[in-house]
Structure 1
Amino acid sequence: MSNHVHRREALRLATAAGLSALLPSRLLAVGAAPELAGNLKAFARKWVGPGKVPGMVIALGLPGLQTRYIAQGSQGFIDPDAMGPDTLFRIYSMTKPVTGMAAMLLVDEGRVGLDQPICDFLPKFAKMNVQVTPDGSVTEVKPAKNPITVRHLITHTSGLAYGIVQQGPIRQLLFEKGL
């Protein structure tokens, strides 16, 4: 047996979640809550354990009902603390696809354009400067040729520096500013 979540299983869960959005909220909340919670508990039991994942927390929020939390396992293979609704997760780069999907929903609704400058939402980005020399002086800058767009942010091509990969004076400046 494989210890990885199979695409078909993930697709089934995603499909069920998607189809549930089409049901009237009262019907979903009253009729499906116990079965859905049971299925999620079984899913958690199946994937939590040695050689799999140490633990997981699932939040089940249905209209008109209090949010239920299904917690299984521990916070780490060598960390005995149990998972719970208040467990903190270090998701690092997983925020990128989540944020990208949220932005694409706004694009789909026509509320945001992919090639729309972000200064429309964040005015401080209206007059951006770029370093003349990468990893050079933070005072040797010139005006950016183009504005940063939503597309740039989603595809990580905005040119904004990351403290963990940036070198030189800009890294020191980011550190001093607590960024």
Structure 2
Amino acid sequence: MSETLRALLARHVAAGTIPGAVGVYGDDEPVAVGLDAPDGDELPPDAVFRIQSMTKPVTAVATLRLVQDGVLALDDPISTWLPELSSPHVLAHPDAPLEHARPARRPITVRHLLTNTSGYGMMTTDSPLRTAMVHAGIHAGPEPVPLSAQDWLDALAALPLAFEPGEGWRYHHSFGILGILLARVGAGSTEDVLRTTVFDPAGMLDTGFTVRPGQEHRLVAAFRRTTDGFVQTEPAGAGFFVAPPFDVSHSELVSTVPDFRSFLRALGSGSLVDRALVDELRRDQVPAAAKTPDSFFPGFWDGTGWGFGVSVATDGPRRGRFGWSGGLGTDFFVDPDGSACVVMAQVELDDQVFGMIGELQSVGGS
């Protein structure tokens, strides 16, 4: 299977989809294909990548570990630890004027964060709430977060929810809130909690909010495709993920293919959380009424659900598969038999990178 994966990645390197990538399937050795930058050096298999939204399943598992240990419960109101969100207001509908918000009927819970149903999230329509999020600096994008965790949380708390908690689905922001919650619950840093609950038990030596000291040279640059070719958006071996300027509890991780494969192995073995909680993680948790066409990109819900930090195939030949992608061309999935595939590249998601990820989904069994 490694040769199938290598051939797929090599074809996309040759086509100019990506400069290079590292991938692994099952128990095979990781394969590195291409270069670490256009006209760069050979890409090593232990390269460090910005995994962006592949952070979400890691944060979810850390949360479930605290649930298993009795520190949290899934239906606990998050205001116990985040008083900034104790009195949310909610819009009559997601596109309504902000002044039409009213007090929410129920509190936001831990479960709502894990399932992206908190009422906070990316707005896909040109609405007053979306405009306000952009002006406040809290609308999600491919760049590192521009605000510290506290400033980001305060800015989010000043705006209304798009819907009642549990009654709609919007992507992303719930997991930034969850990261801050982990720090409050742990009475330390989010990274301390992640290290205790996930990184150390899974043997993830190179995963964190920053690159491990002395290993900065392994962090590859990030790129955006333009009509003139690849343009660097973040440098190799430097920048935000080497020396962030503020508390990044709401931010995203760097990692490697070997580390993320170790995470998936530990998750599958039950050594991070009990299998009953793993089953909940990979089960569709979103009510049908919340799967509206405007909640994410068109067609997202066709045969797809959302568990705790991961998408779930609910129909078709890959039914039972779970996984997710990161905005800089990273992707993973785990099949029902436990076989896992992880691929990391360094180009912002666009039609060509989405096409490559779509082809990746044909790798492996049903």
TM-score normalized by the length of structure 1: 0.56
Identify, as 1 or 2, the structure richer in helix. Answer: 1
Matches within 5 A, 1:28-43: none
- In the alignment, the residues of structure 2 paired with residue 103 and residue 47 of structure 1 have an alpha-carbon distance, to the nearest angstrom, of 37
Q: Which runs of 4+ in 1 moved over 2 A?
A: 1-4, 46-49, 51-57, 72-76, 78-88
Asked if the contact 2:97–2:129 (Cα under 8 Å) also holds between the matched residues in 1, the reply is: yes
Residue 114 (str. 1) matches residue 74 (str. 2): yes
- In the alignment, the residues of structure 2 paired with residue 88 and residue 134 of structure 1 have an alpha-carbon distance, to the nearest angstrom, of 35
Matches within 5 A, 1:21-170: 50-51=10-11, 54-56=20-22, 79-82=38-41, 83=43, 87-89=48-50, 91-163=51-123, 165-170=124-129
- In the alignment, the residues of structure 1 paired with residue 137 and residue 35 of structure 2 have an alpha-carbon distance, to the nearest angstrom, of 28
The aligned amino acid for 1:172 is T
- In the alignment, the residues of structure 2 paired with residue 111 and residue 119 of structure 1 have an alpha-carbon distance, to the nearest angstrom, of 15
**Structure 1's 166 and 103: CA in aligned 2 closer, same or farther, altered over 3 A?**
farther
Q: Deviations over 1:61-96 (max 9, x none)?
A: xxxxxxxxx9x55566x734445788552x343122
- In the alignment, the residues of structure 1 paired with residue 80 and residue 116 of structure 2 have an alpha-carbon distance, to the nearest angstrom, of 19
Asked if the contact 1:74–1:81 (Cα under 8 Å) also holds between the matched residues in 2, the reply is: no
- In the alignment, the residues of structure 1 paired with residue 129 and residue 35 of structure 2 have an alpha-carbon distance, to the nearest angstrom, of 36
- In the alignment, the residues of structure 1 paired with residue 34 and residue 133 of structure 2 have an alpha-carbon distance, to the nearest angstrom, of 35
Unmatched 5+ stretches in structure 2? 14-19, 24-29, 139-366
Q: How much has 1:55 moved relative to structure 2?
A: 3.4
**Structure 1's 166 and 95: CA in aligned 2 closer, same or farther, altered over 3 A?**
farther
Structure with max Cα Rg: 1
Q: Secondary structure at the match of 1:124?
A: helix
Identify, as 1 or 2, the structure richer in strand. Answer: 2
Residue correspondences, number: 124
Q: How much has 1:130 moved relative to structure 2?
A: 0.3
Find the counterpart in structure 2 of residue 174 from structure 1. 133
Q: Secondary structure at the match of 2:4?
A: coil
- In the alignment, the residues of structure 2 paired with residue 47 and residue 125 of structure 1 have an alpha-carbon distance, to the nearest angstrom, of 49
Q: Secondary structure at the match of 2:102?
A: strand
Asked if the contact 2:74–2:109 (Cα under 8 Å) also holds between the matched residues in 1, the reply is: yes
Cα RMSD after superposing both structures: 3.4
Q: Secondary structure at the match of 1:3?
A: helix
Asked if the contact 1:118–1:150 (Cα under 8 Å) also holds between the matched residues in 2, the reply is: yes
**Structure 1's 125 and 47: CA in aligned 2 closer, same or farther, altered over 3 A?**
farther
Find the counterpart in structure 2 of residue 65 from structure 1. none
The aligned amino acid for 2:95 is D
Q: Percent identity?
A: 32
- In the alignment, the residues of structure 2 paired with residue 88 and residue 104 of structure 1 have an alpha-carbon distance, to the nearest angstrom, of 25
Larger relative contact order, structure 1 or 2 (CA cutoff 8 Å, min sep 6): 2
Asked if the contact 1:137–1:170 (Cα under 8 Å) also holds between the matched residues in 2, the reply is: yes
The aligned amino acid for 2:128 is P
